[in-house]
Structure 1
């Protein structure tokens, strides 16, 4: 059995990421013929075409797209293994790709990243903010911030803290519409629904003693971002359910009221998630350690 051609896999990852043989050759300090031969060698070994080539551009074939996440993992593990075998202080440079939810990224992560960039001036950060769940391997992220109850998966996770959630409304709304005494009362109120969940039309609510009930709230406003709900909630337009990092200031200021204390929608945690491998480049470990220290 022939050994895997790790060099060709790493070169394939670089060509796919940079979008050209010339750019990959420049990044890897190799000649363009060396790059071309490695790709041809890998295609011959796999029995499939990895790139569609024209005189102006290259693009990944269907097979190339399906194999790219393997190439990324091979390149990442190879780099991390090399760094693990020697002093990594001088290797704290290069790019780290991080994904995070939009609102949390703006309110809490942005200043932490700014401090990280000051501490590690040779590390560049590609931070992508999106409330949609990303595929770390497929989309080439080194790590991600995820605020959720994590399902079982092959991904590695570091739990940073519990995130409290609150059913909230403005005093003006409660004066006009009355205060719900139990979750079942929400069907008679104007509710703000966070749509970026598997079943946003149903609220699965757990009480202080662990009992659970399912409620279909009356939707007045729906969005895939929690931050955008705050102004209308404070203005007394309805009832919402938001995590602590979005609504705590408004609660402390009396602009909003926790209307169903002790009731919550699931157990939510703040986590750093990473690809399955224990090997990571030193620059990625530097960012993860910085996040652990500053976000807990």
Structure 2
């Protein structure tokens, strides 16, 4: 049986990440010639080119694009196996890369990370905040926090806490435009759209089991919920936002929840990791820490 060329796969993954033979050589601490020979060896074994090479640019071929996720997984699992063996004999140490939504990341993830790092001084954190969906395998994240109704995938997902989406508007807007009593009446209102979802349709289920779908029709859309707050306060429209964004404004009277008897699709905070069950001990430790932290947060809010 011929074994896979694991070294070449790992080198390919590193070149694909850096888009540079020189960058990969520096990251791995080897010569550029070693990088070039490994890529040539892998291309010969596969019978296909993995990169387009010019004097100024290195890009993945279609074959390289399709194989990149597998290569990243091979590299990540090899690193995880070595790190797990090392961590078993020492205190948790090393880097953890995390992706999280912008608003929730600032308000809740960053404070949790501060407490975790204070308790584990040998652990480093790279926290990236964006409301866009990231490819956690290709982008080499250890953990991603997502607020959604997750589709089935090869990723490992752990549900941490439910999240309630509330339809809200200011009293100024409701006095001027009227208070909707049924979701179908939203079609007559200025509705803010959230740009990071595949469909802008709002779905509702009523107290009697009635299902209703409404397409937002307004002058404003954004890929971040916090960006909608100034427009809501100014009385410019209606939005549907998660409770951790709007609950403080509702409590202070700046916004009002409308259509409270109509529920939206179930969403929750999930912790997502790459498919491999192999994870460094420091990552396992942070997963359990975040799970407990956000379970308590949800309990305090409900």
Band the TM-score falls in, shorter-chain normalisation: 0.7 to 0.9
CA apart distance, 1:271? 0.4
- Taking the aligned partners of 2:91 and 2:68, their CA distance within structure 1 comes to 25
Alignment RMSD: 2.5
1:69 touches 1:140 (CA, 8 Å); kept in 2?
A: no
CA apart distance, 1:289? 2.5
Query: Residue 94 and residue 36 in structure 1: after superposition, are their counterparts in 2 closer, same or farther (change >3 A)?
Result: farther
Question: Does residue 1:266 correspond to 2:265, yes or no?
Answer: yes
Partner of 1:14: 14
User: Which stretch shifts more, 222-231 or 12-21?
Assistant: 12-21
- Taking the aligned partners of 1:35 and 1:195, their CA distance within structure 2 comes to 41
Partner of 2:104: 104
- Please give the secondary structure, in 1, of the residue aligned with 2:146: strand
- Taking the aligned partners of 2:5 and 2:261, their CA distance within structure 1 comes to 57
Partner of 1:158: 158
CA apart distance, 1:279? 1.0
Question: Does residue 1:243 correspond to 2:242, yes or no?
Answer: yes
Partner of 1:221: 220
Partner of 1:115: 115
- Please give the secondary structure, in 2, of the residue aligned with 1:190: coil
CA apart distance, 1:212? 0.9
Encode CA deviations 1:241-270: one digit per residue, 9 max, x unaligned: 111010000011111111111212211100
- Taking the aligned partners of 2:98 and 2:293, their CA distance within structure 1 comes to 16
Encode CA deviations 1:125-157: one digit per residue, 9 max, x unaligned: 332222222222233322211111111111110
Question: Does residue 1:293 correspond to 2:297, yes or no?
Answer: no
User: Which stretch shifts more, 206-215 or 143-152?
Assistant: 206-215
CA apart distance, 1:197? 2.1
TM-score by length of 1: 0.88
- Taking the aligned partners of 2:39 and 2:92, their CA distance within structure 1 comes to 29
Query: Residue 231 and residue 61 in structure 1: after superposition, are their counterparts in 2 closer, same or farther (change >3 A)?
Result: same
Query: Residue 242 and residue 73 in structure 1: after superposition, are their counterparts in 2 closer, same or farther (change >3 A)?
Result: same
- Taking the aligned partners of 1:19 and 1:190, their CA distance within structure 2 comes to 45
Query: Residue 38 and residue 188 in structure 1: after superposition, are their counterparts in 2 closer, same or farther (change >3 A)?
Result: closer
Query: Residue 93 and residue 57 in structure 1: after superposition, are their counterparts in 2 closer, same or farther (change >3 A)?
Result: farther
User: Which stretch shifts more, 75-84 or 19-28?
Assistant: 19-28
1:34-183 map, 5 Å? 34-53=34-53, 58-85=58-85, 87-88=87-88, 90=90, 92-183=92-183
Q: Which runs of 5+ in 1 are unaligned?
A: none
1:76 touches 1:281 (CA, 8 Å); kept in 2?
A: no
- Taking the aligned partners of 1:42 and 1:114, their CA distance within structure 2 comes to 42
Q: Which runs of 4+ in 1 moved over 6 A?
A: none
Query: Residue 223 and residue 290 in structure 1: after superposition, are their counterparts in 2 closer, same or farther (change >3 A)?
Result: same
User: Which stretch shifts more, 216-225 or 105-114?
Assistant: 216-225
CA apart distance, 1:59? 4.5
2:8 touches 2:39 (CA, 8 Å); kept in 1?
A: yes
Encode CA deviations 1:220-243: one digit per residue, 9 max, x unaligned: 422222111112212222222111
- Taking the aligned partners of 1:148 and 1:271, their CA distance within structure 2 comes to 8
User: Which stretch shifts more, 229-238 or 89-98?
Assistant: 89-98
